[in-house]
């Protein structure tokens, strides 16, 4: 297992998915816990690197209490790493296994809709909304995983010196995200 990434010390692995691994880390500069998300495909796939940068830039533009905050992006050689707010709690997918009340469901839904409205106000469409991408903390609901997010306009770039197109990484007839 990795020991450090930049000035972040890796403490333990907290999750792994098809796209990458998430670790609990310690920020030596600011003396706080963080989530360290590595992307498995970044070394091999130009498309995966593009998705990673889309996630980082999309998250960085959003300031909303129901959206997970991005703190930093690190490039070490071919590796790309996101430094995120560390969340304590459980995914909505895990919580649904034990059942929720109608009142809880409405409260969660209201917070998810608030997060989606903040994204849409910035021209960002999440495109992978599912229970495992919603995290329940004691302070509220957080929307996660912006790897498939898509900007609906050119404000996505936000760097006036960059003239690159915001063309989609997907094409008609192709499914992205979790089909079910």
Q: Which of the residues are catalytic? A: 128
Whether residue 138 contacts residue 159, with contact meaning beta carbons closer than 8 Å, is answered with: no
**3-state SS, residue 107:** helix
Long-range CB contact pairs, 102-110, < 8 A, 24+: 107/141, 108/134, 108/136, 108/141
Record the tokens describing residue 97, joined without a space.
């296994």
Chain position carrying tokens 């996660």: 144
């Amino acid at each position: 297992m990795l020991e450090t990434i930049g000035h972040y010390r890796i403490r333990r692995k907290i999750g792994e998915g098809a796209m990458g691994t998430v670790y609990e880390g310690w920020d030596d500069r600011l003396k706080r816990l963080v989530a360290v998300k590595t992307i498995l495909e970044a070394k091999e796939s130009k498309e995966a690197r593009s998705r990673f940068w889309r996630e980082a830039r999309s998250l960085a533009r959003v300031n909303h209490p129901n959206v997970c905050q991005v703190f930093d992006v690190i490039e070490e050689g071919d590796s790309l790493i996101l430094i995120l707010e560390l969340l304590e709690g459980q995914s909505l997918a895990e919580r649904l296994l034990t059942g929720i009340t109608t009142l809880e469901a409405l409260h969660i839904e209201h917070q998810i809709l608030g997060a989606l409205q903040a994204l849409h106000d910035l021209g960002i469409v999440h495109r992978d909304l599912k229970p495992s991408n919603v995290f329940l903390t004691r302070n509220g609901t957080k929307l996660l995983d912006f790897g498939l997010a898509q900007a609906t306009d050119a404000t996505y770039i936000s760097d006036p010196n960059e003239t690159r197109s915001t063309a989609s990484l997907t094409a008609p007839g192709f499914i992205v995200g979790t089909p079910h």
